[in-house]
Structure 1
Amino acid sequence: MVTLPEFILLHAKSLPEGGVLSPKEFLHMGSRDAVDQALSRLTKEGKLLRVARGTYVMPVSSRFGTRAPSPEKVVQALAAQHGEIVSPHGANAANALGLTQQVPIREVYLTSGRTRHLKLGRSEIMVKHAPRWMLALGPGPAGSAVRALAWMGPSHVSESLSTLHRTLPPAEWQALAAARAALPSWMARAIGEETLRG
């Protein structure tokens, strides 16, 4: 007979890196108290990491010891579990698109779900609620451009757009231009003006 902690660990080992565990997944094996105690004990023993209230992940073992799973994988697993859309923050997008040299110090992701703080080993990750328009174009270059522009703000929008017009693939620029109706007025106007310059 497999004990509750053993069952939880077996399940955790079957998940890919960053896969999240929730106490509710194990209620068929015991009472909520028993499940919480088992998770707490496994965390104290270092076999699981508690990343947020009611959310656990398995540390990754390598020949160099154990480490926390990649933040991106944990965030994506949480998004899948809750049916949310998650994307890197606008500062990351602006950096990746060559609009700024600044590299964000903290890891921040944007989500269609609620804001939450995750703790992965020594690093803290913020998953911040974002308005629907920021996530509407998805994870591709056009979506990244929207998040980058939102982060850069109205005062830098013209120069940012002229860079994006040169560097985005034509289909992505068209997707960005076609989404104007869903974007804030200042951004929609600037995209329209840049398209006319085209």
Structure 2
Amino acid sequence: MELYNKVFYFISGHGRGWAFSPKDLLSKFTRQEADSVLSDLTKEGKIRRVARGVYDYPKYSKLLKKDLSPDIEQVARAYARKFNWRIEVSGDTALNLLKLSTQIPGNYLYYSDGPSKTYTLNDGAKIEFKKSVLKNIGFKYKESSLLVQALKTLGKENINDKVIEKIRTQIDDSMYEKILKDTKSSTVWIYETIKEVCKNG
């Protein structure tokens, strides 16, 4: 029971929505310990298996009274850690994750320095990793990468108050300072837009 609680405490400590593979637990537990507890936690509905070898600690909607779909960005990052890849979100996927695109893709594209692969999640969504040269890999936070890729894809001429407000609702304001430091080296107009997004009050 103690091991069970320790593993669950470790997972839940990352917050709701976190996606992971058993590899993420190996700094604290053996593979055998991780596998046996993950199986129990899944059976009891504490965590969810979202694809082969990938789990999440699902976000729950009180309004809908059910677990929400997996956080695609978190799942992509779980794969990246699992295989030691560096990844970068594609522009269209960034637009979609920031709710700026009306199109609902079942297919989310990430660029990677690993092999080209596609994974289908249990809910039918597909995450495609495409081998390519990564340009914006220097960002420390996933939010920074999402913002820069989305803005670049939208184009300067399509940025307005409505767009900025919509982006703002998708970014946790506790990340503002970190994003501003992280994206300083971006193109001037992109950084100016990010400053507008990350205004408090």
Identify the TM-score tier after normalising by the shorter chain: 0.5 to 0.7
CA RMSD of aligned residues (A): 4.1
Residue of structure 2 in register with 1:11 after alignment: 10
Contact 1:18 1:77 in 2 (8 A): no
Whole-angstrom distance in 1 between the partners of 2:188 and 2:38:
48
Number of positions where the alignment pairs a residue of Structure 1 with one of Structure 2: 149
The structure with more radius of gyration: 1
Residue of structure 2 in register with 1:85 after alignment: 87
TM-score computed with the length of structure 1 as normaliser: 0.53
Whole-angstrom distance in 1 between the partners of 2:146 and 2:9:
36
Residue of structure 2 in register with 1:2 after alignment: 2
Contact 1:79 1:86 in 2 (8 A): no
Q: Deviations over 1:98-147 (max 9, x none)?
A: 9xx97253131213134241525x24231322411xx415647875588x
Q: Deviations over 1:150-196 (max 9, x none)?
A: xxxxxxxxxxxxx958558x8469xxxxxxxxxxxxxxxxxxxxxxx
Flag the 1:107–1:89 CA change in 2: closer, same or farther, 3 A. Answer: farther
Whole-angstrom distance in 1 between the partners of 2:189 and 2:41:
47
Flag the 1:106–1:89 CA change in 2: closer, same or farther, 3 A. Answer: farther
- Sequence identity (%): 22
Q: Report the AA paired with residue 70 of structure 1.
A: D
Whole-angstrom distance in 2 between the partners of 1:61 and 1:143:
28
Moved over 6 A (4+): none
Contact 2:54 2:78 in 1 (8 A): no
1:67 CA drift (Å): 2.6
SS in 1 for 2:2: coil
Residue of structure 1 in register with 2:54 after alignment: 55
Q: Report the AA paired with residue 121 of structure 2.
A: K
1:27 CA drift (Å): 7.0
Aligned ranges 1:24-39 → 2 under 5 Å: 24=23, 25-26=25-26, 29-30=29-30, 32-39=31-38
Greater share of residues in helix: 1
1:11 CA drift (Å): 1.1
SS in 1 for 2:103: coil
Flag the 1:111–1:8 CA change in 2: closer, same or farther, 3 A. Answer: farther
Q: Deviations over 1:56-102 (max 9, x none)?
A: 211223422323342233334554674522213547659x9x9xx97
Where structure 1 has 5 or more consecutive residues not aligned to the other structure, the ranges are 149-162, 174-198
Whole-angstrom distance in 2 between the partners of 1:83 and 1:111:
10
Residue of structure 1 in register with 2:42 after alignment: 43
Q: Report the AA paired with residue 126 of structure 1.
A: I
